[in-house]
Structure 1
Amino acid sequence: MFRAIATVGGWTMVSRILGFLRDMLIAAKLGAGPMADAFFVALKLPNLFRRLFGEGAFNAAFVPAFAQMLTQRGPAAAQALAERMATLMILWLALLMGLGLVFMPQLMQVLAPGFVERPEKFALAVELTRITFPYLLLICLTALVSGVLNALGKFAAAAAAPIFFNLLSMIALFALAPFVATPAHALAWGVTLSGVVQLGFVWWACAQAGMVLNPLRAPSLAPEVRQVLRRMGPGLIGAGVTQLNLAIDVIIASFLPSGAVSYLYYADRVSQLPLGVIGAAVATALLPLLAKQIHAGQPLSAHRSINRAIEISLILAVPAAVALAVLALPILAALFQRGAFGPAEALATSHALIAYAFGLPAFVLVKVFVPGFFARGDTATPVKIGMFCVALNLVLNLILMGPFLHVGVALATTLAAWANAGLLAYLLHRRGKWVADRRLRRIAPRLLGSALAMGVVLAALSWWLAPGAGLQGVGWLALICALGGGTYFGLAQLSGGLDLRELGRLIRRRR
């Protein structure tokens, strides 16, 4: 599992770094005004469907079924299942895409109802979303093929594919901007083009792995296909509750003063670096592993895998959350404060980032606990918890948006994430599917204490050393983070929360 997490996490880190470069360019060109708000809404809709239908609900239902078919009936039967699901996905998403393009104004009234009172902003959001909407079909098929690769134990290509999204977005911003109406239009076309490239890349990787998929197989509702569809329905909420909460954030933020959507986007992008590197990597590696262990009759191995996944998550997510909360403003100033993105925008965004940072461990733990249900074919329980948390997020949004504006929106998402993680952990424990073992109980408080001590050191260093934003600010920020990281790992080693020698052995084994 460590090898898979390292592979996915490494490629995800590269993608996130390129994503920061892309967002720095967007901030400089678009800032945090109406054009940026419209583009981020246009990007949110296909990304929401991708994470729900593609990476979330579909993979939660498909990967365990594919792994079971591969283990019990062989590669040919597993390939047939993947091809049948690809055909159904193409038919379903093509219909959805056609309806979305036709009824986009009505759909935008649901996604960003606050834009209706600003006709120019509303019209721009509709136009940009129509350009990005085909990305939905392309990236969902990419998620399907990536699921096949992950179940085959091939994680690198699927984790590297998002790099093309960031590269092509940056290229489009420079190459297409002179030929289209606005820089936002150039970005939108770059998004759709990246979907074509990502799909082609993972399809080629799957063929290299010995499984050449044919998406034109005649539609079939074989028993195994119906099983995936039955599990996929409830999984829409169970696997995608965080994305639904973020979609609610956009809807609520559209009623707030101009710039609120952009503040939340930039803050979410920064918080997504550790979430993507840690949470997505752990979840991607854990789901097929648990499915194989459970279907092979190895419950103790599955139990141990969950505990080690939690351990890895805490080792990385807790200090990342503390660092983001303490260094929110220096991070945003160093990354984005240039061009149309000034000090006022950086300050407003930093408040949202602090709120998101407190929820980072919860976001990661949700990605660890949900596979514990999905690997056993139980999509109903995460659905019930997810529905409750979506409702809770909406209520908290309505309560907190008045006094705290966009910060209240981010805080509501954080509180809902902690409720989600807590309920998932409680039910897994009560059903005997997970118990925190002695090792986890011993190291968790020590990791927390080390991270809090690191936070004190970071606060002192940022006050003493950081001279401001810009290029120099990036250098000082890197120095502060390096000193903080050394403090955390040193204290964790001394307190017994982390064994760096064991980590070194795992890395050498990975190499």
Structure 2
Amino acid sequence: MLKGLLTVGGWTMLSRILGLVRDQLLAAMMGAGPMQDAYQVACRLPNMFRRLFGEGAFNAAFVPLFTATLTTGGEEEARKLAREVFGVLLTWLIGLCVLGEIFMPGVLRVIAPGFAEDGNRHALAVTLSRITFPYLVLICAAALVSGVLNGLHHFGMAAAAYLAFNVVGITAILFATPYMTSVAHAAAWGVTLSGVVQLGLLMWAVRRAGFPLSPLPPRLTPEVRTVIRRMVPGLIGSGVTQINLTIDTIIATLLPAGSVSLMYFADRLNQLPLGVLGAAAGTTLLPVLTRHLAAEDHEAAHAAQNRAMDYVLLLTLPAMAGLLALAAPIMTFLFAHGSFTVEDALLSAQSLRAYAIGLPAFVLIKVLSPAFFARGDTVTPVRVGFLVLLVNLILNLLLMKPLAHVGPPLASSLAALLNTTILSLLLIRRDALRPDAALAGRVVLMAISSVIMALGLYGLNAMLPAPPTSGRTLWLAMLLAIEVPAGGVVYLLLLHAFGVLDLANALEGAKRRLNRRRG
């Protein structure tokens, strides 16, 4: 499982880094204002579908059934299942896309009610949304093919294909903008074109894996009905985080212009560790749990769940601490260029801190949800999801006025903490989760090490002078080049001192793996 997690996490990390480059271009060329707001809202719906299907409900419903069919019925039965689901999925998605294109002005009044007061911003958002909306068909189809590859334990290409979103996006922004009405139009076309590239790469990969797929005419077979029955409630159960972020966007459109943009760039940085660790752990854990449970090896399933929690918290806790301590210099270094001012970056850093508070909870939701899905239970996460959605909405309404662009991110973080707590308690109550004393002790020591590291970084920043106006980017680059590795070293040394990690053994293991690859 660790190998799969590292494979998916490595490709996801590269994708997130390219995503930061893409976001830097968007920030520099559009700043934090009406055009940026319109573009980000236009991307909200297709991106929500991407995250729900690529990392949530569809995988939760399809992968366990596909894996079980592959194990018990063989490749032909599994391929038939995948082709049947493919046909139904494409039919539904194309119909949804057509309706979305026709009724997009009404859709925007729901997800961006604040734009109604600004006719130009609303009109631009409608145009851009119509350009990006076909992406949901392409990326959801890609999610099915990716799920097949994951079920076959071909994790590499399934994760690598998502690089296309950022590679194509960067290319469109840089080279298509002169031929478009605005950079926002070029970026929007880049989103849809990236979906074509991603689906093409995955179809090529699954054929190369000896498992070619083509959709069958849509038929609601018993197996397809099972996938739908598990998927529909799972859209809420596994997608609570994304739905909460959409609620944040709805609320942000009611705040001053630029609030959507400030929250977007903060969320993008928060998504770096969340995507790398949460999505990777959830993607690799689900088929592992399904296999153990199918073999009725419950001890192995519990051990796998605990290992996944240990792995992600080992990295997520210091990531949270680092973002809290270094939010301002990181956001200023990355985004305070061109039309995106230093003041914009500092305001966005406030949103980032609010998101970072809930980072461990966001990641743990990805690790805990497969424990329900692997057991065929999508109803319980739905019930929890409804409660969390209600709490998030109430918190948003309470915090939006006094905290402005910080309120919605803080509401999402608090809702995620509640979600994690409820899911954990339910799993423990059902004996589906057994966090042992060793895991609890390690987590406490990881948390203490992260706090010490963060306090050291925060104290160092407080003692340093403000970055100069001239040469600010170079000054911040040098500062972060020292502080980030230093924080990592301090964290590792503390883990070693507390007995959580044996650095000598870890280095020796890394050398052995490196030598095996060279050999």
TM-score, normalising length: structure 2:
0.96
Q: CA deviation at 1:301?
A: 0.4
Q: 2: CA distance between counterparts of 1:242 and 1:417?
A: 7
Alpha-carbon distance between aligned partners in 2 of 1:84 and 1:403, rounded to the nearest angstrom? 51
- The reply to whether residue 155 of structure 1 matches residue 155 of structure 2 is yes
Q: Secondary structure at the match of 2:226?
A: helix
Q: Are the structure 2 counterparts of residues 159 and 54 from structure 1 closer, same or farther at C-alpha, using a change threshold of 3 Å?
A: closer
Maintained 8 Å contact 1:32/1:345: yes
- Counterpart residue number, 2:493: 490
Alignment of 1:36-435 (within 5 A): 36-215=36-215, 217-435=216-434
Q: Is the 8 A contact 1:359 1:418 kept in 2?
A: yes
Q: Contact conserved, 2:43 with 2:129, CA < 8 A, in 1? A: yes
Query: For residues 169 and 181 of structure 2, what CA distance do their matches in structure 1 show?
Result: 16
How far apart, CA to CA, are the structure 2 residues paired with 1:18 and 1:316? 21
The structure-2 alpha-carbon separation of the partners of 1:505 and 1:134, relative to structure 1 and needing over 3 Å to count, comes to: farther
Give deviations 1:415-434, integer Å, cap 9, x for gaps: 00000000000000011111
Secondary structure of residue in 2 paired with 1:327: helix
Pick closer, same or farther for the CA change 1:412–1:190 going to 2, 3 Å.
Answer: same
2:318 maps to amino acid: P
* Distance in 2 between residues matched to 1:156 and 1:28, nearest whole Å: 32
- The structural deviation recorded for 1:365 is 0.5
Aligned length: 510
Cα shift readout 1:450-488 (whole Å, capped 9, x = no counterpart):
001101111133334576341331232121000000000
Q: Could you list the per-position Cα deviations for residues 399-425 of structure 1 after superposition, in whole angstroms to 9, with x for gaps in the alignment?
A: 011110110111000000000000000
Structure 1 residue 228 displacement after superposition: 0.8
Q: Match for 1:435: what amino acid?
A: R
Q: Is the 8 A contact 1:105 1:126 kept in 2?
A: yes
Structure 1 distance, partners of 2:460, 2:217, is: 63
Letter aligned with residue 500 of structure 1: L
**Bigger Cα displacement from structure 2, 386-395 vs 467-476:** 467-476
Cα distance in 1 for residues equivalent to 2:474 and 2:285: 39
Quick one: structure 1 residues 467 and 158, their matched pair in 2 at CA, closer, same or farther if it must change by over 3 Å? farther
Cα offset, 1:449, TM superposition: 0.7
The question of whether the paired residues in 1 share the 8 Å contact of 2:61 and 2:227 is answered with yes
Written as runs of structure 1 = structure 2, the 5 A alignment for 1:493-504 is: 493-504=496-507
CA distance in 1, matches of 2:122, 2:342: 27
- Name the SS of the counterpart of 1:434 in structure 2: coil
CA contact (8 A) 1:462 1:480 kept: no
Structure 2 counterpart SS, 1:405: helix
Kindly provide the CA deviation profile for residues 221-257 of structure 1, in whole angstroms up to 9, marking residues without a partner as x: 2222111111011101011000000000000000000
Whether contact under 8 Å (2:88, 2:220) holds in the other structure is no
- Name the SS for the 1:433 alignment partner: coil
Structure 2 match to 1:478 = 481
What's the secondary structure of 2:56's corresponding residue?
helix
Q: Which digits, 9 at most, give the CA deviation of each residue in 1:340-376, with x for residues without a partner?
A: 1111101110110000011000000100100000000
* Contact 1:66 1:82 survives alignment (8 Å): yes
Is contact 2:91-2:218 (8 Å) kept? no
- Alignment CA distance shift 1:506-1:61 (3 Å): farther
CA distance in 2, matches of 1:219, 1:360: 40
Question: What's the offset of the Cα at 1:176?
Answer: 1.1
Asked whether the 8 Å contact 1:444–1:497 carries over to 2, the reply is no
CA distance in 1, matches of 2:24, 2:199: 26
Question: Which is worse superposed, 473-482 or 377-386?
Answer: 473-482
Segments of structure 1 that go 5 or more residues without pairing to the other structure are none
Specify the SS of the correspondent of 2:271. Answer: helix
- Report the residue type matching 1:347 in the other structure: L
- Following the alignment from structure 2 to structure 1, what is the Cα–Cα distance between the partners of residues 299 and 232? 29
Kindly indicate whether the alpha-carbon contact (under 8 Å) linking 1:466 and 1:477 is maintained by their aligned counterparts in 2. Answer: no
* Structure 2 CA distance for aligned equivalents of residues 463 and 388 of structure 1: 40
| Conserved? CA contact 2:270–2:355, under 8 Å | yes
Q: Counterpart of 1:218 in 2: which secondary structure? A: coil
> Which segments of 5 or more consecutive residues in structure 2 lack a partner in the other structure?
none
Q: CA deviation at 1:218?
A: 2.4
**Contact 2:41–2:125 (CA<8 Å) still a contact in 1?**
yes
Q: Given that residues 88 and 217 in structure 2 are in contact (C-alpha distance below 8 angstroms), is that contact kept between their aligned partners in structure 1?
A: no
CA–CA separation in structure 2 for the residues paired with 1:279 and 1:238: 16
Structure 1 residue matching 2:211: 3-state secondary structure: coil
Q: Deviations over 1:26-83 (max 9, x none)?
A: 1000010000000000011111122234532111100000010011111111111111
SS in structure 2 of the partner of residue 96 of structure 1: helix
Q: Return structure 1 stretches of 4+ with deviation > 6 angstroms.
A: none
Q: Distance in 2 between matches of 1:27 and 1:54?
A: 26
Q: 1:440 is matched with which residue?
A: 439
Please give the alpha-carbon distance, in whole angstroms, between the structure 1 residues aligned to 2:53 and 2:159.
18
Equivalent residue letter for 1:483: A
Letter in 2 for 1:91: T
In structure 2, what is the equivalent of residue 30 of structure 1? 30
Q: Report SS of the residue matched to 1:249.
A: helix
